[in-house]
Every structure is written in structure tokens, then in C-alpha cells.
Amino acid sequence: MCGIIGYIGNKQALPVLIKGLRRLEYRGYDSAGVAVLDKEKIHRTRAVGKIDELAEKVKQEEILGTIGIAHTRWATHGGVTEDNAHPHFGKDGKLVLVHNGIIENYREIKEKLGDKHEYKSETDTEILAHLIESHYKGNLREAVEHALSHVRGTYGLVVMHADHPDSLITARLGSPLVVGVGEGEYYIASDATPMLTYTKKVIYLEDGEVAEISKDKMETFNLKDEVITKCVEEIEWDDEQAEKQGYDHFMLKEIFDQPTVFEDAIRGRYNLEEGAAHLGGLNMTVEEMRSVDRIILIACGTASYAAMVGKYAFERLAGIPTEVDVASEFRYRDPIVNEKTLVFGISQSGETADTIAALREAKRKGAYVRGIVNVVGSTIARETDGGSYIHAGPELAVASTKAYTNMIAIMMLYALQFGRLRRITPATGQRLLKALREIPAKMNQILEQADKIKAIAEKYKDYKDVFFLGRGINFPVALEGSLKLKEISYIHSEAYPGGEMKHGPIALLSEDFPVIGIMTKDQLYDKMRSNIEEIRARKAPLLLIATQGDEGAKELSDDVIYVPDTMELLEPLLNTIPLQIFAYHVAVMLGRDVDRPRNLAKSVTVE
Ligand code: F6R
């Protein structure tokens, strides 16, 4: 939540900061602000709303300076007002900072600071600015370090001071921070996307580190003021990958990216002849892999629905009992985990606070902890003892699409890797791999139907409630279809396993309550068909996702979207795509802000 950016170098800071904020806008977008230091004067401008509002406002002023900080906000403390927008000043108007995270003991700090401090906002961040200022005795970094030793909570922050026109101080605890290294310039941001235009060289700050950055030098310290040596890493994503490439929205682009990035996910990670997968990053010996007697998949939201598909793969292919745990529940229920448990944290951003905390808990209890992550160098990628990147490329729309399919791809390969050590034959492995290799072409066949799906979306867009039904491996597909629709169109939707309908939910059905059923040809086809007949009898409008060639599906429903046939285990990789396209078009037709739906943020870095 919230995106922060800082710049120091030879360029004019303002355009760099505004452009960077646009890249970070997916992290939060209820208000934004920028502060630039011009000689000894700090110009601060803030605006409620999207970055466009701020960009308009700064056009009206002349703001010069080659050092500055900026912030896009997703409100946690205090309402959405200009006063609450960052950057926040300390008491004397010389120190200004941007912050991502939550200062848990802000009330205590405020009390200790006493009545001499007057606050203009309701934020914890402004109190932090005053706290740092109260420790300031001429050395800004030391003031930050001393202040942070009194803070409980999480922070990624960048601090600027009018008396220090040649340096920015940045610090991290629990909120991501990346430093981009240019020629005589540095960028600091919540993730690497704002700096991709300028540099591919980055340094990841770790929890408990503070850096003092001038345009030619970066020095990093821990909170005990000891110097730390940092490595410069190279990132793979290019600037173009982060742009819309002609699509109206990032979400649509990312839906259409799926065939290509799916190939990126599996390439070089299997051996067809042996019917085996070999994901290098697992970092476990064969003995250790054989000793695993339980797998726990920890994730949130869409990633947790991908994990529910993964559960089928691990149980069917590897015969290992597998549980899916929503991260925010796992961490607080004293989970039973031991040294034979393998825990995978599954996350697009690699920064989801609950998932990080759950993985730390699992690690403390002695489990093998591995990551299945998209963002390279993210906290989960660095804190786990191995795992795999899903290679989906930058996912900028708030609603996750391509990360979901690639997470499933990686879990299929891991399940195969474990399965070949335990029970399945090379022939079974080969069948799975052949089917996996066919997935991109089959995804393309579905994408070719985008216009037809759009026409169907037009028919359903005005309903107020929708049911999604699936069974077996298609139940997670129903959950994901429902989440996609509700989060971007704001239409109320629910997902149920088909067999559960008659235990209550069927009472809701009427001519005004359509059902979207996933009825592809798998082992539960006949059961699902019976459930669909029950719905038909209640006259609810019915849209089916069915396997190509299933003519009966047409007679049973009002509308059908056909998908190519595949192995049952892989059905979610195809069946979810029409639901993504459906949700997208419904949301566009309703005039929603598809890439940045209300109340949501791309990476949920607060609990
Ligand atoms: C929904 C969506 C969220 C995320 C969830 C986990 O479209 O994007 O439900 O899946 O917040 O995020 P990551 O995968 O970054 O841990």
C-alpha cells in the first residue's frame, strides 16, 4: 500500500517523480504529493485523487530542483484529504518525509513529544516526521536512526532536509524499498518500476537498514550504525514490458500476455524424455524432498485460488497431503508445522504482509520454506530459502490475471518434480508435460473469442448479483471468476461448489440472479450437469463454460463459452481466462476504473 519515490542527481526532480508516481499508482491512489528542494526552500504540492490531479496542480507552479521525494497514498490512518496526503513536514518546515507502512505506537510517541508540537494531519507519518526532527542535531542520518529506535511498526521511508541539499536518507522495516543506481544519480522507490526507464541496476534495502544517499554515493548502515556492504543487482524487466503496449488497460494487456508468459514460466524447467521437471531453485536434496510428508500453500486472494489448484496437483501427482492456508489466518492459529513440512508462499508481489508474516512463522517452527513469486528481489523471494520465480513480467493492473496462471504452471512443475520421486511413471509425467506445452496455443484459442465474450458481457452487465459455480478443480476457478467480477465491476457475486447449492444458496436464485457455471468435461461433469439442471429449473439466467464439442451445453443454457479440451488438472489454466475477459468487459461497460478499482491496492503491505 502506498508508493514512495525519491530522486537525487542532475535531472530536474519533478518530472522524474511525477512519472515515477504514475508507475507506482497501482499501489495506492487516493491522494498523492511531491516535495522538491530548490536551494534551501522545499516546495510541497499535494492533491486528493489520482496522480493526474497532482500533475495538473504542479503545472501551475515553477518547481525547480534536482532532489525530491513523492508519494501515492492508500489511506490507513486518517481520511482521504489533502492534509493527510504525504509528504509530511516536521515542526519547523525544514524536514519532510514520505512513508509507506504503519507506525503502531504513534499515540505513545505523540504523547512523549508533548504539547509543543502541532499537527496538521491525522496521520502516523506526520508524528514520525516530528519525532525525527526532535532527534536532529545537525546529522540527519543519525536523527533518523535514533528516531527509528523508538518506533514500533513498519516503514519504508525517504527523508529530505532543507539544510542537507545533497542527501536523502532512506530506511526500511517491513515495507519494500529499492534503490536504483544511475550515473551520478540515485532513485529510491517502493519497487523497481519507476526507475526502469533510467537504470536496470538496483540495490535492495533489507529490514533494519538505513541508507544515506548523495548523487555520487550510497552508504548503508544498520540501526546500530555499523556500515553494511550492499550488492548491485541487475533487473531483467525492461521499460516496454511495463507499458500498456496499445491495450486500453493494463488488465487487458495482462490477460493477453498469458500465452507468452506461460511459455516463459515453463521453459527450460522440464525434460520431456524423462517426463520430469527440475526447478533449480528448490534447494532441497532428494532425501529432503522424500522426507516431506505435508505441504502447506500459503497465499492471499487470487494467489490462494491458484494454490487451491496446486493442492490438487500435489496430492494427485506427488501423493503428499496438501493444505491451502489463507495467510492472514495461518499466522494467528498456531499452525502445526514441523521439519517434515514444506511450506510454499505464493505471491505475485512478494510483498504481501500477511504472507510474509505467515512464512516467518513457518520458518520459526522449522519447516522448509520456499517461495513462488513474481517480483524479482521482493521480500518473499529474499527471505525464503529457495523457490521459483513465475516469470509473468510486471503485473500492473490491480486485479491479478497472468500471475495466477503462471503460479499454477509452477505448482504443476513442482508437483511433477515431487511426483517423479515418489509415485508417477515417466509416461504419466510425459502426458502432463505434453498437455502443459499445448496450453499457450489453447489459451490463444480462447483469447480469439474475446469479442464474443464481450457481447455476452453486455447481456449480463446490469444484474446486481451473480453466482459462480464449479466442482472439484473448477471450484477455485469459480472463486477466481467471482473475485475478478466483484473487485473490478463492484457487482455482488458469490462462488459455491456446485453440490453445495441445495444446502442453502439455491434459495437466492431467481430470474434476476444469473449463474455462471463451469461445466467442462472432467470426472465431475455428470454431477455438475445435474446441478446446472437444478438451476435451470429455477429460471436463473445461465452462462456456461463448456468443453468444445459439448453441444448439450447449448440446450441447457442461455449462453456458452467454449474452451479447448485439456487434462483435468490443467483445466483451470484455460477455464479462468473467459471469466477474466468477462469481468473485464462488464467493468469497462459499467465505466469502472478497471486497472485501479476503488478501495484496493496492488500489493497489500499492511496487515
Ligand atoms: C485479486 C488480487 C489479490 C491478490 C492478493 C495477493 O485480483 O490481485 O487478491 O491476489 O492481494 O497478492 P500477492 O499475490 O501479491 O501476494
- Is residue 245 assigned to a domain? no
Shared domain for 355 and 465, answered yes or no, is no
Question: Closest by alpha carbon to 177, among 18, 30, 9, 378?
Answer: 378
What is the mean pLDDT for each group of 10 consecutive residues in the chain (607 residues)? 92 97 82 94 94 94 95 82 96 95 91 92 95 96 95 94 97 93 97 91 94 97 91 82 80 95 91 93 94 97 98 98 95 88 96 94 95 89 92 91 98 98 95 98 98 98 96 97 98 94 88 96 91 88 97 95 98 98 98 92 75
Residues 268 and 229 in one domain: no
Q: Are strands 368-373 and 387-389 parallel, antiparallel or unpaired?
A: parallel
The grid coordinates listed for 144 are: 533518523
Query: 426, 442, 458 — which closes off a domain?
Result: 442
- In this structure, the answer to whether residues 311 and 338 fall within a common structural domain is yes
Q: Give dist(CA 371, CA 538) in Å, integer.
A: 45
Residues 437 and 454 in one domain: no
Q: Are residues 292 and 226 in the same domain?
A: no
Identify whether 360 is part of a domain.
yes
Q: Report CA 41 to chain centroid distance, whole Å.
A: 37
Residues having CB closer than 6 A to ligand 1 are 300-303, 347-349, 352, 355, 399-400, 483, 487, 603-604
| Spacing, Cα 62 to ligand 1 middle (Å) | 39
- In this structure, the residue with its CA closest to atom 16 of ligand 1 is 347
Q: What domain range includes position 371? A: 250-442
End-to-end CA distance of the chain: 10
Identify whether residues 204 and 272 lie together within a single domain: no
57 and 152 part of one domain: yes
CA distance 323 to 309: 11
Ligand 1 pocket mutation, candidates 329, 352, 596, criterion most atoms within 8 A of CB: 352
Burial 437-454 (b: 16+ CB within 10 A, else e): eebbebbeebbebbeebb
User: Is 603 inside any structural domain?
Assistant: no
User: Which of 180, 205, 235 is the C-terminal boundary of a domain?
Assistant: 235
**pLDDT at res. 223:** 81
Same domain, 403 and 326: yes
Q: Tell me if 480 is assigned to some domain.
A: yes
Nearest CA to ligand 1 atom 11: 301
**Same domain membership, residue 225 and residue 206:** yes
Neighbour count for residue 602 (Cβ, 10 Å):
26
What is the number of domains present in the chain? Answer: 3
The answer to whether residue 596 sits within a structural domain is no
- Shared domain for 385 and 456, answered yes or no, is no
462 and 384 in a single domain? The answer is no
Minimal-distance CA residue to ligand 1 atom 5: 301
Residue 604: inside a domain: no
Paired sense of beta strands 322-326 and 341-347, if any: unpaired
Q: Looking at the structure, do residues 540 and 509 belong to the same domain, yes or no?
A: yes
- Report the CATH number at residue 181: 3.60.20.10
Q: How far is the CA of 397 from the centre of ligand 1 (A)?
A: 11
Whole-number Cα distances in Å, 465 to 259, 272, 542: 31, 45, 13
Q: Let me know if residue 243 belongs to a domain.
A: no
∠ CA 325-415-413, rounded to 5°: 115
CA dihedral angle for residue 138, residue 166, residue 86, residue 127, rounded to 10 degrees: -10
Of 191, 255, 302, the one to substitute when testing ligand 1's pocket (max ligand atoms within 8 A of C-beta) is 302
Domain edge (last residue) among 391, 407, 442: 442
Q: Report the atom number in ligand 1 closest to the C-alpha of 407.
A: 14
Question: Can you spell out the DSSP letters for 519-532?
Answer: E-SSTTHHHHHHHH
CB–CB of 148/25 below 8 Å? no
Confidence at residue 449, expressed as pLDDT on a 0 to 100 scale: 98
**What's the pLDDT at 139?**
96
**Residue 91: inside a domain:** yes
Supply the pLDDT for residue 501.
86
Assign residue 494 the CATH number of its domain.
Answer: 3.40.50.10490
Strand, helix or coil for residue 176: coil
Sheet-wide strand order for 67-73: 41-48, 31-38, 67-73, 3-8, 186-189, 178-181, 201-204, 233-234
Mutation test residue for ligand 1: of 191, 329, 349, the one with most atoms within 8 Å of CB? 349
